[in-house]
Amino acid sequence: MDEQGGVCSDNRQQQLPWSVRLKITKEVANAVTYLHSAFPRIIVHREIKQTNVFLDKNWTAKLSDFSFSISLPDQVSHGLKIK
């Protein structure tokens, strides 16, 4: 997906409808919520960007590339510095 919400495929670009963009955004937000709440230690991804979100043929989003992720004790709820 490019910065204007288009998807490049076979050297052609198509614009995604806003409903699909919203679906992708919700799925990424749900993935982050899961990482922050489903484990004994909070997992912080630290590099959410469009190249780390994979889309299948149904536009289902999958968050990838956890190489910069960290885990924090569940007592930590704030105080992270964003660059």
> All domains of the chain, ordered by start, with CATH?
6-73 (1.10.510.10)
pLDDT recorded at residue 40: 78
From the list 38, 26, 22, the residue with the least C-alpha distance to 63 is 26
Q: Tokens in use for 56?
A: 């299948």
- Tell me how crowded residue 76 is: count the other CB atoms within 10 A of its CB: 12
Stated pTM of the model = 0.66
C-alpha triplet 62, 63, 64: angle, nearest 5° = 115
| Span 39-64, pLDDT tens digits | 777 888 777 788 888 999 999 999 88
User: What are the two backbone dihedrals, phi and then psi, of residue 14, each rounded to the nearest 5 degrees?
Assistant: -125, 145
